Structure formats: C-alpha cells, structure tokens
Amino acid sequence: MLDDELPLQCMYRWERERPEHIFLTQPFGGGNVRNWTWSQAAAEVRRMAACLRSQGWEPGTRVAILSRNCAWWIMADLAIWMAGYVTVPVYPSLKPQSIRQILEHSGAKGCFIGPTDEKETAGSGIPEGVLTIRFPNVPANGGLTWEKALEAAPPIRDSLTRSAEDLATIIYTSGTTGAPKGVMHSFAAFRFDAKCLTELLGATDQGRALSYLPLAHIVERAGMEMPALLLGSRIFFTEGIETFLADLHRARPTIFLSVPRLLLKFQQGVFEKVPKKKLDKLLRLPIIDRYTKRRILRQLGLNTVVHAACGAAPLPTEILLWYRNLGLDLAEGYGMTETLITHLPKPGYVRPGYVGAALEGVEVKLGENNELLVKSPMNMLGYYNDPQTTRDAFTPDGFFRTGDVVQLDPDGQIKIIGRLKEQFKTSKGKYVIPAPIESRLMAHPDVEACCLMGAGHPNPFAIVLVAPEARRRCTSLEDWKSLEHSLQTLMDQVNARLDPHERVQFIAIADGPWTVSNGFMTPTLKIKRTVLENRYQSLVDNWERTNCPVVWESAPQPHATH
C-alpha cells in the first residue's frame, strides 16, 4: 500500500486537489452550521500543529482529546500527528478519576477539551501541568482557547509526513472487565482498515457520514474518520440527543454506523408513534407496505443510507431483520480495539446472526474452546507500558486471542456466540454463555437492556430494564400485568429452544436506569456484568422464593414515570 494513503498524507492530497470541497460540517445553536473546506481545515491543522510543536515536546509525546465528536476533534487529531505526536482519545462520558487515570498512565502532556457528558467536572480530571486547549464550543475556563492557540505560532508550511509504522494513537479499552488498557496502533493499521472497508463497500468521495458514536471508540475512528480521510468525503456532526434527528436529516448520510442499544431506541421511538401490532398489520398490506416503510426511514433520517453497519455488541437478529425489512441495508460487523474492524459482510451477502467473513488480508482460526484468533496488519502493536499482558494476548505464532467464542462456517462467515470470560457455571455444574440468550430476550420491543446471571444457582435468570416509553404507557395495573404476560410468553418461547441447564428461571424487571454515568454501562453502551451482579445479588434469594416467572425490583405503580 502507498504511503500517500496514510491519514496525514491524505489531508495534504485533498488540501491540494479539493481545496474548495466541504470536509466538515459542525452545528452550533439554533440550527446554525459552520462548514470547513479541505483548505480551511488544513489551514487550522497547520496552525494548531505549530502551536503544539512550539511546546518543545519530544517526538512521540502523547496528547489527549477529551470531547464529544465535533469538527475540532478531527482537526486536533490531524494536528497532533502533524506535530509528530501521538493521539490519546478519551471518552467524554468518563468521570474525572477515570480521565486522570488515563492521562497519567499515558503520560499525556497536553489535552484538548470540548463538550463532555460530565460538563463542569470533567476538567477536574486533568492532572496538574498538562497543557489544555479548549475547543470553541465550550466556555474558556483557563488554559488556551483554540483561537488563541491558532495565533501562537506561524503555521507549518511544509507537509510533514509520518512513517507507516509510527505509533499513531493509544486507544483505551472501555473497561468492561476492569481497568482500561492502552491499545497502541500504527498509521499503517488505520490505512489498511480504511482501504479494506472502502473497497468492500464500493464507497466513494461522494459519501456522507454523521459522526456521533464516540471517536474514542474503534468503530467510529476506524469505520468513519479513516475512510473519510482516505476518500476525501464529508463528515457531519451533531450537537446532542436534542438535535440528533435534525442533524441526521441535514447530513442525509450514505453511511450509517450504530450500536445495538441505539438501534433499539430508534425502534422503540417508532413504536411510540405507531404501536408494534398496528405497524405489523400495516406492513402486511401490499398497498400500504412500501409507502409505510419509506415514510419510517424518511422520518428516521435514514432514507439516503446506502450501507448501515452495527458493531460493539451483539445485535438481536429480530431487530436486524426489522430494519432490513424496512429497506435499510443493515449488517453486523465485528472488530475489537486491539484488531480494528476485521469482519463485515459483502453487500448482498448478509446472513442474519452472522458478522460476515474476514476482510481481505485478515487470517482467522479457532483456538481452544472455539476462541476466535485473529492475525492481520491491523493487530495492535501492544498494550502501552504493559509488556506481560501484551505477550499473554498473542499466541506463539502471532494470532491475537480475542476472547470471543464463535461458530466458523465453511464459507468463512462467523457467528459470535459469546465471551469466554462471561460464561458461568450453574449449581448443576453446567456452563452457560449469556450473550445468545440475552439477544433473544432483547427481541421484546419494550426491553432496553438485559443481563443474564446465575453463577451457583440451579438455572440462570435475567435482569431486564424496560424502556422509559413502555413505563409511561403503563397507566394501570392491567397494563403492568399485560407487560408481565408478554415477557413470560417470550421467556417460554426462548426456553423452548434452550437446553435444560440454560433455561431462564425468571425475569426480574429492574428499576434502572443503567447508564454510563452511574457506572452500570461502559462508554460504548455495553453492560458491566460484575457491577450489575453486585447490585442485584442481595435480591436474588427473595426473587427465587416467589417462584414467579416475572418479578419486580420495586412493585409497579399506576401512572409510573420512572
């Protein structure tokens, strides 16, 4: 592969060849937007790189970005690279102590700060002595502002390049099972993934993407930012959940990336306007069917999408099929922070329940207990400052141990069964893998999240979180009983397909919420099993004694608005 396809070199190319084409579109208040052409964005990158270089830091110094996605995030990333440094993205949903842990572990000497979920408190996680530069979309509370930093030094005129094998970034894992680990990736890994994905999908420079999944996560970084840089395509941003639909309609994306929890919320929003039973009936009427589907996609802002992909966690097959039935070309992909995106179905080859075959240049094989092992040019360089964990992560012949139990079909397509570390043993001495069972229970239109537990118990049981919309709908005890009945019916249907030791003993409806802020979910919206188990363990004995198929953490009340 050519060095001029590396991310930084791509910016120079579009700065030269497409100076007046719009690269970034950033909304700011009241429906206003600001656009940057490639020429304008590159000019700010050059000035910001000069400011960073003027600090006199040694090459390879780590510089963090703590912000929700925005145009300045992308420009800061490019400026860090142009200055000869390494980007450390930080999730904007993290608490101050977690931010401090990442910045101290990485040894970051600078940190760009933009909007975060913690708002006022996030900045308190910045260690003393770290240079801060605030994006224009946050108040200037100390440190440099973006505008002042642009004036700090003359712009770098030369198109300084970085080697393909240089360290580009340290991406910290989301901490599902413990302290986050710093995953090191080279520029070459990013180039390889962008090339594979764009060639597989036939993507062009006319593509449009709405960037809203955290850029601190591998899905957005490798699946959106890098392909846009390679192709010279356009990136739109959103101000937040309040303006998301308007931002989506403005972007009219051709590529749409999501995660299961968000796709579930979009679906539940549709059911709020048109109850599922009524919608199912409409979709069975030939005359109304096509019009209804087009209208739903248009209202969701997804009617222009050519390719949609979901990753980060298993997507219930029923939800995948629901979207595909509407006409959205939705597929599941697979990747890890340590491997980038390694699996995605070819267009026209989507098999529900599977994440596709390995991309070209990616080798896979099965290890002990059907663990997926992966080797490719995208494998991480290692965990930052952790050589022993790095050695343990690879087989002697260089395959990364993913920790995922999979089914590998003869044509190369894989189905993710679950995580090795998540399986638990019941009191009957049998192992249960929770992910497939959770996925089936998540098919219920009112279930927002699900966690299967049961280590040391006769049978597993499920803790579920009911969507706020469903709770608002339940205005009488009869409504709650109807919800209970529908959950019991689903549980019976799921159990009929399971081995005896896997069958769900009961479903417990939790009060909730489970959020990133209260520590029940990771920044990538995956549940933290250990935290949830600790939270509900004291209630399990009482739940088991009731011998009821559906139980509640708190008794339901009419007109509940939890």
- Domain boundaries, given as residue ranges, for the chain: 3-237, 255-303+305-420, 423-552
d(CA 502, CA 461): 9
Q: Sort 304 into a burial class: Cβ within 10 Å, 0-12 / 13-18 / 19+.
A: middle
* 204 residue type, one letter: T
d(CA 313, CA 108): 30
Asked if the model's pLDDT at residue 188 lies above 70, the reply is yes
The class of domain 255-303+305-420 in CATH terms is: alpha beta
Helix axes 38-53, 7-17, angle to 10 degrees: 130
Cα 104 to chain centroid distance, Å, stands at 24
The fold for domain 3-237 equals Rossmann fold (3.40.50)
Backbone angles phi, psi at 384, to 5 degrees: -60, 125
* 358 residue type, one letter: A
d(CA 7, CA 5): 6
d(CA 489, CA 510): 19
Residue 462: HSE in the Cβ half-sphere, 13 Å Cα cutoff: 31
Contact 81, 168 (CB under 8 A): yes
For the chain, helix, strand, coil in percent to 5 are 40, 20, 40
Asked if the model's pLDDT at residue 153 lies above 90, the reply is no
Residue % of the chain over a pLDDT of 70: 96
* Same CATH fold assignment for domains 3-237 and 255-303+305-420: yes
pLDDT digits (tens, 9 = 90+) for 8-39: 999 999 999 999 999 999 998 777 899 999 99
In order of 268, 290, 294, 299, 324, the CA distances from 285 in angstroms are: 22, 9, 14, 20, 17
Residue 472 pLDDT level (bands cut at 50, 70, 90): confident
Eight-state DSSP code of residue 169: E
What value does the mean pLDDT take over residues 391-418? 93
d(CA 205, CA 558): 53
Residue 176 pLDDT level (bands cut at 50, 70, 90): low
* 330 residue type, one letter: L
Among 146, 134, 160, 137, smallest CA distance to 12 is for 160
423-552 CATH: 3.30.300.30
Provide the β-strand partners of residue 407: 415
pLDDT digits (tens, 9 = 90+) for 304-319: 999 999 887 778 888 8
